[in-house]
């Protein structure tokens, strides 16, 4: 983590967790927040949230997913087809994935390429987005190569992640206090996509509190995790929620210098607005909540090996085993809960959803969302 990291040190986190265990307490917020149910259903709210996702720096992928000059990823982000590519100069650039001839998408999925040849009529673009070639150029009098490059949007690499801003350059000062989440050596090994019938915020909310561990995850996470004991810190518009495992008790007998949190807690960073980074026992994930409609969301989960107390783990098999444990254990329970909630929202049962003192990070999230949307 970098020197500007505003978050508690490992030592302080551990001290706070042991205090909570000993006193049967947890970190608390100071506000009860009521979020109108309409904000999970309304088309108008959905559209303003999509626009917000386009005008803020949002994580697009891990740097490790673009290892070489010419490595690229094409996918939709906040409804826009984007193409993100590492150039010959090593720099990552992001473009709207739209051919300047008749709008075809010039790249699909991911790979490594020297140029992007539009599949429709073969207009050809360089890794820097410049239009290099128009077949039968004589048929397009007045259409200049130099005026018809791919339209560039903002991109910035920081701490092993690529952030994209679709409405201008990424404002580096907005990422200044962001921890360096991933080291170069951490290996990216897998990704999955899930589409659920739930508003993106309902899915994101499942990652932001430990109040539901015993109840919703009785047989999955609760046998290993402590119920409703979390360390919750807000930083900027973001939050970090630390969920300790029961086995953290082992650290009480270890000399302070050898006490490390790796494998003893799950740390979830909620990067405002729609990304969660989870540092689990033996692997780390980046979850991007892509809103598809007010009631439908695609979750994209990117997986990498962990940092360890000694450096970086390159043990992909171990990381894969850990990832399948998390999936088999509680992940689907969270998704099902979000979908079940969505099913009740169009009834008149609730005018709002209520978030209390145990749900501090969610309250922070909604307060920030409201504030950003009113700007
Ligand atoms: S649309 Fe791309 S070359 Fe025609
Ligand atoms: Fe959960």
Tell me the backbone φ, ψ of residue 62, rounded to 5 degrees: -80, 145
Q: Minimum mean pLDDT among 109-113, 266-270, 322-326: which range?
A: 322-326
List, for residues 302-352, the tens digit of each pLDDT value.
Answer: 999 998 878 888 889 999 999 988 877 789 999 999 999 999 999 989 999
H or E element that contains 277: strand 275-279
- Nearest-atom index, ligand 1, CA of 121: 3
User: Tell me, what's the pLDDT at 184?
Assistant: 84
Contact 37, 351 (CB under 8 A): yes
**3 pLDDT band (50/70/90 cuts)?**
very low
* H, E, C per residue of 341-367: HHHHHCCCCCCEEEECHHHHHHHHHHH
User: Tell me, what's the pLDDT at 257?
Assistant: 84
Burial class (CB in 10 A: 0-12, 13-18, 19+), 291: buried
d(CA 2, CA 369): 27
Contact 191, 300 (CB under 8 A): yes
User: Tell me, what's the pLDDT at 328?
Assistant: 73
Pick the closest to residue 288 from 129, 93, 58 (CA basis).
58
- Cα distance from N-terminal residue to C-terminal residue, the chain: 31
d(CA 198, CA 289): 11
d(CA 286, CA 288): 6
**Which tokens sit at 343?**
């099913």
- Looking at the DSSP bridge assignments, the partners of residue 35 are 353
99 CA → ligand 1 middle, Å: 6
Q: Which sign, positive or negative, has the C-alpha torsion 67, 179, 156, 272?
A: positive
Share of the chain above pLDDT 70, in %: 99
334 CA → ligand 2 middle, Å: 5
140 pocket-lining for ligand 1 (C-beta < 6 Å) = no
User: Tell me, what's the pLDDT at 330?
Assistant: 87
- Is the model's pLDDT at 89 over the cut of 90? yes
d(CA 371, CA 368): 5
Testing ligand 1's pocket by substitution, the residue of 97, 121, 124, 137 carrying the most ligand atoms inside 8 A of its CB is 121
290 CA → ligand 2 middle, Å: 19
**Tell me, what DSSP letter sits at residue 339?**
H
Q: Minimum mean pLDDT among 26-35, 178-187, 323-332: which range?
A: 323-332
121 pocket-lining for ligand 1 (C-beta < 6 Å) = yes
In this structure, what is the dihedral angle of CA atoms 23, 26, 27, 32, given to the nearest 10 degrees?
A: -120
List, for residues 61-87, the tens digit of each pLDDT value.
Answer: 999 999 999 999 999 999 999 999 999
User: Tell me, what's the pLDDT at 1?
Assistant: 44
d(CA 184, CA 90): 14
User: Tell me, what's the pLDDT at 4?
Assistant: 62
Nearest ligand to the CA atom of 220: 2
- Looking at the DSSP bridge assignments, the partners of residue 164 are 58, 155
Q: Which sign, positive or negative, has the C-alpha torsion 178, 315, 193, 336?
A: negative
Using DSSP's 3-state secondary structure scheme, residue 217 falls into coil
What's the whole-model pTM score?
0.96
Testing ligand 1's pocket by substitution, the residue of 104, 137, 139, 151 carrying the most ligand atoms inside 8 A of its CB is 104
Pairing relation of β-strands 188-196 and 161-165? unpaired
* H, E, C per residue of 93-125: EEEECCCCCCCCCCCCCEEECCCEECCCCCCEE
**Which residue's CA is minimally distant from atom 4 of ligand 1?**
121
167 pocket-lining for ligand 1 (C-beta < 6 Å) = no
Q: Would you call the peptide bond into 273 cis, given omega within 30 degrees of 0 as the criterion? A: yes
Contact 88, 66 (CB under 8 A): no
117 CA → ligand 1 middle, Å: 9
Using DSSP's 3-state secondary structure scheme, residue 153 falls into strand
143 pocket-lining for ligand 1 (C-beta < 6 Å) = no
Mean per-residue pLDDT for 227-251? 96
Burial class (CB in 10 A: 0-12, 13-18, 19+), 109: exposed
- Is the model's pLDDT at 124 over the cut of 80? yes
Contact 26, 152 (CB under 8 A): no
Nearest ligand to the CA atom of 104: 1
Q: Kindly give, in sequence order, each residue whose CB lies less than 8 Å from that of residue 275, ignoring residues fewer than 6 positions away.
A: 58, 59, 286, 287, 288, 289
């Amino acid at each position: 983590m970098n020197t500007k990291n505003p978050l508690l040190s490992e030592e302080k986190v551990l001290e706070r967790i042991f205090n909570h265990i000993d006193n049967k307490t947890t970190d608390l917020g100071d506000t009860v927040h009521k979020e109108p149910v309409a904000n999970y259903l309304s088309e108008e709210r959905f559209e303003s949230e999509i626009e917000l996702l386009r005008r803020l720096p949002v994580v697009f992928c891990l740097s490790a997913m673009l290892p070489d000059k010419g490595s690229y990823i094409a996918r939709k982000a906040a409804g826009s087809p984007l193409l993100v590519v590492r150039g010959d100069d090593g720099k990552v650039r992001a473009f709207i994935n739209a051919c300047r001839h008749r709008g075809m998408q010039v790249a699909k999925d991911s790979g490594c390429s020297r140029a992007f040849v539009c599949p429709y009529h073969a207009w050809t673009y360089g890794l820097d987005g410049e239009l290099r070639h128009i077949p039968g150029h004589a048929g397009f009098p007045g259409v200049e190569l130099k005026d018809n490059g791919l339209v560039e949007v903002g991109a910035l690499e920081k701490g092993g992640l690529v952030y994209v801003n679709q409405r201008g350059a990424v404002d580096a000062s907005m990422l200044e206090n962001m921890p360096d989440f991933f080291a170069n050596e951490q290996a990216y090994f897998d990704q999955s996509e899930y589409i659920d019938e739930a508003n993106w915020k309902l899915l994101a909310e499942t990652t932001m509190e430990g109040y539901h561990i015993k109840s919703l995850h009785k047989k999955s996470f609760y046998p290993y995790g402590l119920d409703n004991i979390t360390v919750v810190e807000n930083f900027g518009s973001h939050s970090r929620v630390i969920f300790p495992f029961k086995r953290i008790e082992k650290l009480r007998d270890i000399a302070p210098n050898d006490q490390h949190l790796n494998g003893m807690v799950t740390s979830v960073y909620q990067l405002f607005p729609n990304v969660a980074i989870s540092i689990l026992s033996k692997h780390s994930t980046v979850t991007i909540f892509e809103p598809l409609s007010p009631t439908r969301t695609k979750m994209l989960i990117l997986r990498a090996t962990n940092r360890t107390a000694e450096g970086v783990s390159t043990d992909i098999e171990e990381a894969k085993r850990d990832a399948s444990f998390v999936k088999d254990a509680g992940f689907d329970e969270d998704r099902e809960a979000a979908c079940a909630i969505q099913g009740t929202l169009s009834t008149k049962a609730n005018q709002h959803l209520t978030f209390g003192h145990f749900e501090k990070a969610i309250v922070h999230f909604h307060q920030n969302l409201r504030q950003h949307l009113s700007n």
